[in-house]
């Protein structure tokens, strides 16, 4: 089945674009927005509406399959592509991108997605958000053409055996780190709460505020969670531990603080994302490795998660090869084509590093559902609940997409074993 046309419609995403550099420099809240001037190129305000491009790939049978171009909340920071403006890129999708895809066989997902990755305009590769969204539509088109699930298409392309149970979902609380986290406890979310610790005020001058919060997590999880609840705590500190302690990161003061975090979280495991921001990839890898070695030498069982300066497939590979993290976040919009996220998860196989299939609150329900298929196809260590910062909606979207896909694959397997058993047709748009 051929691709007949590619359409692009500017739209909204599930959250906002924030100027991370301005926020970390001390911009103060003004209600839901921030006071002050932006400092990152492309921003008109410190916080501005998130944008997306709705991509429809039209097939020869008249079916239109959707993917959504989206970029991370903190666009333009930590080595990422610049701020994504939908109006600036819609014509690129309906022009050069459509030109290379129209007439191609929709069933050849990996070939089509790689062709998209290779496309350059004026010597520059396409913005990661474009590659991300268009490849989602290409994945759905391939699944439709084959009458199968997107999980199966990805598993074939990546040569994997899909998960048979939902991948653990990581809930993110946003700034409402108490109420939203209590919601997560009640629903038994396996990994939580993110917590958005992106200022000295939130972590404490000496880290004491974060320690108090972790103690609260233990207390409330035991009161509100299911009887057999065994959560993993995952806190994103946006480099703030580096801000309050500074390098070197294997010295006693730093290691003792991580030991205090371990004690506060007991009896549950805890992992800390982005403990510092060293300013570039090489320096970040050195700092993370230094901290990880110091923790290991002291017997402190706190995992560290790479985020800043770990954006592209090449970045993921560099962090994994250097053994600089226990977990790497594979930030799906930053890797470009959705298959590249799957390849990054696979690169972690057989190493000491676990793969967290992440992304951003600033995506859409369409991109979140597509990522659920990547998680299943690769059996990632955890997958982010997205989009938005309300928690419930993102958790529902990702968890339900995985459960539904597993159930459909099981029905298809039973139907293969017994042709007399009816099975609903599985299409990419269901």
Contact 130/32 with Cβ under 8 angstroms?
A: no
386 is catalytic: no
Q: How far apart are CA 381 and CA 104, in angstroms?
A: 34
In this structure, the dihedral spanned by the alpha carbons of residues 402, 407, 409 and 412, taken in order and rounded to 10 degrees, is -160
Q: Distance between CA atoms of 270 and 233, rounded to whole angstroms? A: 5
| φ/ψ bin of 252: left (φ > 0), alpha (ψ from -120 to 50), beta (otherwise) | alpha
Cis peptide before 248 (omega within 30 of 0): yes
Q: Collapsing DSSP states into helix, strand and coil, what is residue 384? A: strand
**Catalytic residue (one of 24, 183, 331, 386):** 331
The number of residues making up the chain comes to 430
- CA–CA separation, 133 and 52 (whole Å): 9
The rounded distance, in Å, linking the Cα atoms of 24 and 65 is 39
- The conformation of residue 334, written as its DSSP 8-state character, comes to G
From residue 328, give the alpha-carbon distance in Å to each of 97, 102, 131, 308, 318.
Answer: 31, 36, 21, 10, 11
Beta strand pairing status for 29-30 and 270-273? unpaired
Closest to 364 in 3D by CA, of 395, 382, 388: 388
The DSSP result for 73-129, as a single string, is TTTTSTTPPPP--HHHHHHHIIIIIHHHHTTSBTT-HHHHHHHHHH-EETTEEPPHH
> Looking at residue 46, what DSSP letter applies?
S
Q: What is the SS3 assignment for 42?
A: coil
CB 56 within 8 A of CB 66: yes
Alpha-carbon Rg for the chain in angstroms: 21
Residue found by looking up tokens 């609380």 in the block: 173
Crossing angle of helices 208-224/252-265, nearest 10°? 20
Task: Give CA separation, 52 vs 20, 129, 179, in Å.
Answer: 19, 8, 29
Pairing assessment for the beta strands 303-306 and 270-273 based on DSSP bridges: parallel
Q: Among all residues, which ones are annotated catalytic?
A: 331
């Amino acid at each position: 089945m051929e691709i007949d046309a590619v359409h692009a419609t500017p739209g909204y995403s599930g959250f906002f674009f924030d100027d991370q550099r301005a926020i970390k420099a001390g911009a103060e809240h003004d209600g839901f927005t921030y006071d002050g001037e932006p400092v990152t190129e492309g921003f008109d305000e410190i916080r501005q509406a998130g944008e997306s491009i709705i991509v429809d790939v039209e097939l020869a049978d008249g079916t239109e399959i959707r993917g959504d171009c989206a970029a991370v909340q903190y666009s333009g920071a930590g080595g990422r592509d610049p701020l994504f403006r939908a109006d600036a890129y819609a014509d690129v999708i309906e022009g050069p991108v459509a030109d290379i895809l129209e007439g191609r066989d929709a069933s050849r997902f990996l070939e089509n997605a790689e062709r998209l990755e290779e496309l350059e305009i004026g010597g520059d590769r396409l913005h990661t958000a474009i590659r991300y969204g268009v490849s989602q539509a290409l994945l759905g088109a391939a699944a439709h053409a084959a009458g199968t699930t997107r999980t199966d298409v990805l598993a074939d392309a990546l040569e994997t055996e899909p998960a048979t149970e939902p991948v653990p979902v990581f809930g993110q609380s946003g700034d409402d780190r108490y109420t939203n986290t209590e919601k997560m406890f009640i629903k038994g979310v396996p990994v939580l709460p993110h917590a958005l610790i992106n200022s000295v005020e939130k972590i404490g001058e000496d880290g004491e505020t974060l320690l108090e919060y972790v103690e609260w997590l233990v207390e409330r999880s035991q009161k509100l969670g299911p009887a057999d609840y065994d959560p993993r705590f995952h806190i994103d500190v946006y480099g703030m531990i580096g801000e309050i302690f500074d390098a070197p990161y294997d010295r006693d003061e730093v290691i003792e603080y991580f030991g205090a975090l371990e004690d506060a979280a007991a009896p549950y495991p805890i992992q800390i994302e982005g403990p510092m921001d060293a300013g570039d990839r090489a320096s970040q890898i050195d700092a993370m490795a230094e901290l990880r070695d110091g923790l290991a030498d002291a017997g402190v069982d706190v995992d560290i998660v790479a985020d800043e300066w770990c954006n592209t497939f090449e970045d993921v590979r560099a962090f994994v090869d250097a053994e600089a993290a226990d977990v790497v976040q594979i930030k799906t919009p930053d890797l470009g084509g959705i298959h590249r996220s799957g390849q990054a998860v696979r690169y972690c196989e057989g190493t000491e590093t676990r793969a967290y299939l992440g992304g951003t609150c600033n995506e859409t329900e369409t991109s979140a559902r597509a990522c659920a298929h990547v998680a299943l196809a690769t059996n990632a260590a955890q997958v982010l609940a997205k989009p938005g910062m309300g928690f419930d909606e993102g958790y529902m979207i990702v968890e339900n997409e995985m459960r539904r896909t597993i159930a459909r694959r099981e029905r298809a397997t039973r139907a293969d074993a017994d042709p007399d058993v009816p099975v609903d047709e599985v299409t990419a748009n269901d």
